[in-house]
Structure 1
Amino acid sequence: MKLLASLLIAVPALAQALSSPDGQLQVDVSVNAEQQLVYTVQRAGQPVLLASRLGLVLEQGDFANGLKLVAASPVKAHREQYTLAAGKKSRVDYRANEQRFTVANAAGQQLILTLRASNDGLALRYTVDGPGRKQFKDELTSFAFPADARAWLQPMAVAKTGYSRVNPSYEEHYQMGVAVGTPSPMPAGWVFPALFRSGANWVALTEAGMDGRFHASRLQAASTGGIYRIGLPDPLEVFTGGHLLADVNGPLTTPWRVLAIGPLKTVMESTLGTDLAAPAVPFDKARLKPGHASWSWALLKDGATVFDEQKRFIDYAADMHWNYTLVDAEWDRQIGDAQMKALADYGRTKNIGLLAWYNSAGDWNDTPQTPRSKLLTRADRAREFARMKAIGVAGLKVDFFGGDGASMQAYYVDLLKESAAAGLLMNFHGATLPRGWSRTYPHLMTAEAVRGLEFTTFTQEDQDAVATHAAMLPFTRNLFDPMDFTPMVFGDIPNIKRTTRNGFELAESVLFLSGIQHYAETPEGMATVPAYVKGLLRELPRHWDEVRFLDGEPGKFVVLARRAGKQWFIAGLNADDTLREIQLDLAWLGKRQGQLITDGAGEREFTEAQLAAPAAQLTLAPHGGFVARFR
């Protein structure tokens, strides 16, 4: 552990302030009377966070108490420009002001706090330099909200619960608009991203910069007085024989704690979740192809994972001008390598890539689906990746992971690094929140980490709740990271009464971001829709260049505009049981006329009309929605 150099001059115990480039956001850091490191956040002079704790505890040093602020670096401008294959923007220009604060504990050991303030929020992380072992023990970071703040949060499932002990998989329903301080109904806490409204400002909390050496965090279940604290994974959330918490030799640097802050429009258009991720690793650009996929399992389940049915879904994808067909669980037993190669060869004749499902599991859950336990070691992965490339598979969907411990995070990163080297696209299911990995590993096309459409095919209760759930996701789970919700059903769901209208289902195709969008609808269901709906879905862009938040309220309704090249697509949905009138300011579109597709008179009907800029008023049906296209 490196001792503080004696020539450092102690900084007076006054708050050190860092502001965003536009001066609207201000972060104040100080050591309080109890010798604890604390910070406050204001935006436009209004409090966002009250005095909140900072600090770490390692087995080799306590940076929670008895601290002294001894140095503050000059403020420097930070700028990064990068591209995203799967994101709300294709090109990002991240600018922030950065400052490093050095504190010393009673033993003279040092902790460096790095802050970055941007126009859309704040990020912070800790570094403990020097040689030797660093074993993480606890983190003191907290977020203290004013008493009148509200929260939109997803409970964290308890480890080893649920189907075949697969939890946590970030697959719970959200608590919406609850008072801060409301305890989680599950003792494991709350997941990221967590959304809050503090006065006139909104705050989205998450983390980024996960390199496989650190565990993933969450918010603790208890938040007495509106104070939310960083929580740790359960001891059961580990790779077999692996460690739970960060344990490194040499310098220890934590992931970034990320807070998007501002009006709802600012938060919804923010890219902080990827801004704070590491730059992209190399990947073969010829293979880096976002797009759309057909997928039989959503409505037809395991029985459809057979050669003839998958060939039919390849034909379906080709007819829809999509890019991929996903062959799900049990393909190894119900199709086999030889016929998988035949499918891949047939897909190439139709310009359709094949995606293959794998079970990640070792002994951390009891899932029986195969292929299973084929990716556990580097040698295993090298063999399977070579096998998939020989068959002609374009990418893998890897399912049923084991939580958020450091060793499980290392497993994710090993899969990402090695699949990148092999030129295979990746999709994680039964998985953790990606936390910006889609920037670092551009071939990570998508990840589940959501209570997706498949749950609405299991129980009527989930179907009844899906409208408000879907209206939450753009504000939280899908805010920064691609999400494999597997949207869109126009026909019937076996044994379930669908509660959303067709316009709502269509809107999800634009509202939900996923590098590969796996559509749940079957050829039979797609055959029921008008030609103009099929035409839109055939021509939907494979990736987006820009986003605009137009209107919305978490869990109630949302309207977003997405640009691809010179085209704009506007989509909205209404989760309420009553009609909703929305007024859209479209002045930025000039006087263009757009194609509008929305709900018809019946729940399964569409209607087509024109939508004119610069202003438009729409009436959204209960559980209805729309898509408008401006060429």
Structure 2
Amino acid sequence: MKNLSLIICCCSFYLINAQQILSPSKEISVAFSLTDRGAPTYTLTYKGNSVIKPSKMGIVLKDGTLLNQNFALEDVKTDTFDDHWTPVLGEESAIRNHYNQITFHLKHLDSDKKIDIVFKVYDEGVAFRYEFPFENKVDYFVISDETTEFNVTGDHNTFWLPGDYDSQEYNYNETPLSKIDISKINRDNGIALQSITSNFRVQSPLMMRSAEGLYLNIFEAAVNNYPVMHLDVNTKNFQLTSNLVPNAVGDKAYLRTPSTTPWRTIMVSDDARDIVASKMILNLNEPSKIEDTSWIKPMKYVGIWWEMHVGKATWDYAGSQNAQNAESQALIPTGKHGATTENTKRYIDFAAKHGFDGVLVEGWNVGWEDWFGNWKEDVFDFTTPYPDFDIEEVHHYAKSKDVKMIMHHETSGSVGNYERHLDRAMALMKKYEYPAVKTGYVGRIIPRGEFHDGQAMVNHFNFVAQRMADNQLMVNSHESTRPTGYHRTYPNFIAAEAARGNEFNAWSNGNLPSHETVLPFTRLLGGPMDYTPGIFEIKMDVYDPSKTEQVHTTLAKQLALYVTMYSPLQMAADLPENYEKYLDAFQFIKDVPADWQTSKYLEAEPGDYLTVVRKDKHSENWFLGAITDENPRHTEIKLDFLSPSTMYKAIIYQDGEDAHWEKHPKSYNIITKTVTNKTKLKLKMAAGGGTAVSLMPIDQ
């Protein structure tokens, strides 16, 4: 029997070493082999140049089974796929899914367990995953580690976030791989909850640029029933190894056969535009499980939210719970509560006047007084409004104005409590015709000991999307795991935060001017982001002269973000009275749609600049957004994407002559001119600035 095994292994080595798979363009090549110890390894080349050196693969089970060595090959299958599909909402009205596939059927000689390793090779990169087939009976197992390696070829320039199991809300660090060291970054950055256990662990997606001009991105797709993957960094030999987020007892994942891991993805190109425009992550997810998607619609909204961040109002009704009547236990109002019936009507009037679809109201429900930081379980019931918020009156008033209300569910991290109340909360939404909900997960998770990025929480976020879909409701999650394309499968998962959003500019050291130039290469690869742009009153001293905080962009850049930061759910985040002071600039926010027919990335360099133009799904109008980092920038854009023999009215919202994100952030000019597809448009961006352009056909 040992000799037979040896023969199988030797034959396997010969067959596997002969196996190579190319992308459809033949520019990307993946080679798979087994070492002399039967350990699976792979390499990746791009245009003949090494991108990933020999890197090991595999899984370690809790029972001690090492599914990362002593394998034999049983079979190899290849396939190719080329198709188009139509997203419900998106940057494109049709997406091509074109790849070559190879599956290695492996048998583990120590345990007789079988595992398949599947590669899909696209023109923009490669994806692979582990599959555990069903054999005779269901096999339950616990994963204690995943030993997937990504051995890159040099000390690449890298955009990275600390490997925090509970938060992605950091500014990006830009250093060589060899200089990654979390102990050297500023941890006092406004993040209340930090779960960092290693100085050399980073989050994915990890964006890199080599000295030779290659752009490389390591990420994952279709994370379901599995923890999020972080990356442990060996700064000396440039080795990256998967690190799975543990649960409360230290295990990584509980699985059964048949099951699969998420896809591990590597994008590579010598053109940064290929990375930011890639739909590979989306393609790796399953098609929509929702048959009737007619109720899933893009939304532009305003809301009672920013005024709490700037200190004008509060989420809570009574401040500390000590502010109670001792006999009746009734809450005593502070007078600063934002979510009142009267204030909500004011936002509804503003939305109706300016053509917005919805109004978000945060702080409408009881429970906000003392939950934060106390790790309480039963904080909210998601159905009981404060005394000054008449939910029925608000409903009728909004309906009379043809405005939809957006529900807010802050779970306080108490996941079990939210799941217990979820059906009643959705019933309330249905009763008062709320089409969408913004969920929040601020604070430490309950059940205690779980992390935001663990398997249980991944399953929870996906479960909420599924249950909302059952009730024809859309969901926008905040403080969740970062998306990995799941909105293809459940397109009612309309947006998520899962990164450092615009609110950090109101009360912390803020977001770096380069922040928005990195996000499209990282966070947005996995799905649309509710970044909440559109802040016009840039400096917070307008609310309190003692405040020094400010938004780290110009006003014109805030407009451009509506194009560069894709989302079918877009908020005009500032206060209505602030928009009333700048109605000429506000016109762009009113005009720009949130669902697109096609998108073209014209210029891109992570951490530096981005220029994208998109065509409205329902008209011939185009909208362009261009942003830069802390450096001013001049560029010239060809408008050859416009229809020939058609004249367009171009309205250009640009930084003023003296504009600067810190010194003169509100300096802007609006220029109107006639253009055609032969026009070359010169754009000028201030430090931390941007340009927004609307292009509308002129009736001839």
Fold in common (TM above 0.5): yes
| Equivalent residue number for residue 114 of structure 1 | 118
1:357 to 408, 431, 443: 408
What does 1:213-362 correspond to in 2, within 5 Å? 213-236=225-248, 244-262=251-269, 263-282=271-290, 284-301=292-309, 302=314, 303-332=337-366, 335=386, 339-361=390-412
- Of 135-144 and 180-189, the range deviating more from structure 2: 180-189
| Equivalent residue number for residue 370 of structure 1 | none
| Equivalent residue number for residue 584 of structure 1 | 637
2:157 to 150, 155, 163: 150
Unaligned runs of at least 5 residues, structure 1 = 160-167, 365-372
Distance of aligned partners of 1:611 and 1:584 in 2 relative to their CA distance in 1, 3 Å threshold: farther
Report the Cα distance in structure 2 between the residues aligned to 1:337 and 1:392, rounded to whole angstroms: 20
Distance of aligned partners of 1:536 and 1:252 in 2 relative to their CA distance in 1, 3 Å threshold: same
Contact kept in structure 1, 2:221 and 2:526, CA below 8 Å:
no
Once the 2 structures are TM-superposed, how far is the Cα of residue 80 of structure 1 from its aligned partner? 4.5
| Equivalent residue number for residue 368 of structure 1 | none
2:154 partner SS: coil
| Equivalent residue number for residue 133 of structure 1 | 140
CA deviation profile, 1:73-118 (whole Å, cap 9, x unmatched): 1x21123433334432232121111110122333243221000001
Once the 2 structures are TM-superposed, how far is the Cα of residue 476 of structure 1 from its aligned partner? 1.2
Contact kept in structure 2, 1:416 and 1:426, CA below 8 Å:
yes
Report the Cα distance in structure 1 between the residues aligned to 2:179 and 2:263, rounded to whole angstroms: 24
Once the 2 structures are TM-superposed, how far is the Cα of residue 221 of structure 1 from its aligned partner? 4.9
1:417 partner SS: helix
Distance of aligned partners of 1:283 and 1:325 in 2 relative to their CA distance in 1, 3 Å threshold: farther
Are 1:19 and 2:22 counterparts? Answer: yes
| Equivalent residue number for residue 489 of structure 1 | 535
Report the Cα distance in structure 1 between the residues aligned to 2:552 and 2:218, rounded to whole angstroms: 31
| Equivalent residue number for residue 522 of structure 1 | 575
| Equivalent residue number for residue 48 of structure 1 | 51
Once the 2 structures are TM-superposed, how far is the Cα of residue 538 of structure 1 from its aligned partner? 1.6
1:556 to 590, 608, 611: 608
Report the Cα distance in structure 2 between the residues aligned to 1:357 and 1:516, rounded to whole angstroms: 14
What does 1:160-171 correspond to in 2, within 5 Å? 168-171=166-169
Report the Cα distance in structure 1 between the residues aligned to 2:424 and 2:30, rounded to whole angstroms: 50
1:389 partner SS: helix
Q: Partner amino acid for 1:446?
A: A
Are 1:386 and 2:393 counterparts? Answer: no
2:12 to 10, 13, 31: 10
CA deviation profile, 1:569-622 (whole Å, cap 9, x unmatched): 11111222x431213233333575432111224531331223744423322111
Contact kept in structure 1, 2:413 and 2:441, CA below 8 Å:
no
Report the Cα distance in structure 1 between the residues aligned to 2:47 and 2:666, rounded to whole angstroms: 47
Contact kept in structure 2, 1:244 and 1:405, CA below 8 Å:
no
Are 1:607 and 2:672 counterparts? Answer: no
1:208 to 196, 221, 224: 221
- Of 550-559 and 332-341, the range deviating more from structure 2: 332-341
Contact kept in structure 1, 2:13 and 2:34, CA below 8 Å:
no
2:435 partner SS: strand
Contact kept in structure 1, 2:130 and 2:260, CA below 8 Å:
yes
Contact kept in structure 2, 1:456 and 1:466, CA below 8 Å:
no
1:542 to 582, 594, 598: 594
User: How many residue pairs were aligned?
Assistant: 596
Contact kept in structure 2, 1:283 and 1:443, CA below 8 Å:
no
| Equivalent residue number for residue 513 of structure 2 | 467
Once the 2 structures are TM-superposed, how far is the Cα of residue 286 of structure 1 from its aligned partner? 3.9
1:587 partner SS: coil
Q: Partner amino acid for 1:171?
A: E
| Equivalent residue number for residue 425 of structure 1 | 474
| Equivalent residue number for residue 170 of structure 2 | 172
| Equivalent residue number for residue 162 of structure 1 | none
Contact kept in structure 2, 1:102 and 1:110, CA below 8 Å:
yes
Are 1:595 and 2:646 counterparts? Answer: no
Contact kept in structure 1, 2:300 and 2:569, CA below 8 Å:
yes
Once the 2 structures are TM-superposed, how far is the Cα of residue 230 of structure 1 from its aligned partner? 0.8
Contact kept in structure 2, 1:86 and 1:482, CA below 8 Å:
no
Once the 2 structures are TM-superposed, how far is the Cα of residue 228 of structure 1 from its aligned partner? 0.8
Report the Cα distance in structure 1 between the residues aligned to 2:181 and 2:107, rounded to whole angstroms: 34
Contact kept in structure 1, 2:220 and 2:265, CA below 8 Å:
yes
Once the 2 structures are TM-superposed, how far is the Cα of residue 468 of structure 1 from its aligned partner? 1.4
Contact kept in structure 2, 1:502 and 1:605, CA below 8 Å:
yes
1:604 partner SS: coil
- Of 580-589 and 610-619, the range deviating more from structure 2: 610-619
Report the Cα distance in structure 1 between the residues aligned to 2:518 and 2:577, rounded to whole angstroms: 29
Q: Partner amino acid for 1:255?
A: P
CA deviation profile, 1:394-421 (whole Å, cap 9, x unmatched): 2211111641221112211221111100
Q: Partner amino acid for 1:122?
A: V
Q: Partner amino acid for 1:10?
A: S
2:641 partner SS: helix
Contact kept in structure 1, 2:469 and 2:492, CA below 8 Å:
yes
2:623 to 563, 569, 581: 569
Are 1:104 and 2:111 counterparts? Answer: no
| Equivalent residue number for residue 206 of structure 2 | 194
TM-score (norm: length of structure 2)? 0.80
Q: Partner amino acid for 1:138?
A: D
- Give the percent of matched residue pairs that are identical in Structure 1 and Structure 2: 22
Once the 2 structures are TM-superposed, how far is the Cα of residue 500 of structure 1 from its aligned partner? 2.1
Q: Partner amino acid for 1:194?
A: L
CA deviation profile, 1:31-53 (whole Å, cap 9, x unmatched): 12443211111111111111111
Contact kept in structure 2, 1:341 and 1:392, CA below 8 Å:
no
Report the Cα distance in structure 1 between the residues aligned to 2:264 and 2:396, rounded to whole angstroms: 46
1:91 to 84, 89, 94: 94
Cα RMSD of the aligned pairs, angstroms, is: 2.5
Contact kept in structure 1, 2:247 and 2:455, CA below 8 Å:
no
Report the Cα distance in structure 1 between the residues aligned to 2:28 and 2:180, rounded to whole angstroms: 27
Report the Cα distance in structure 1 between the residues aligned to 2:98 and 2:550, rounded to whole angstroms: 48
Distance of aligned partners of 1:44 and 1:254 in 2 relative to their CA distance in 1, 3 Å threshold: same
Once the 2 structures are TM-superposed, how far is the Cα of residue 497 of structure 1 from its aligned partner? 3.7
1:437 partner SS: coil
Report the Cα distance in structure 1 between the residues aligned to 2:117 and 2:552, rounded to whole angstroms: 49
2:237 partner SS: helix
Once the 2 structures are TM-superposed, how far is the Cα of residue 284 of structure 1 from its aligned partner? 4.7
1:225 partner SS: coil
| Equivalent residue number for residue 66 of structure 2 | 62
Report the Cα distance in structure 1 between the residues aligned to 2:18 and 2:683, rounded to whole angstroms: 49
Relative contact order (C-alpha < 8 Å, sep 6+): which is higher? 1
* Higher Rg of the two aligned structures: 2
Report the Cα distance in structure 2 between the residues aligned to 1:177 and 1:90, rounded to whole angstroms: 37
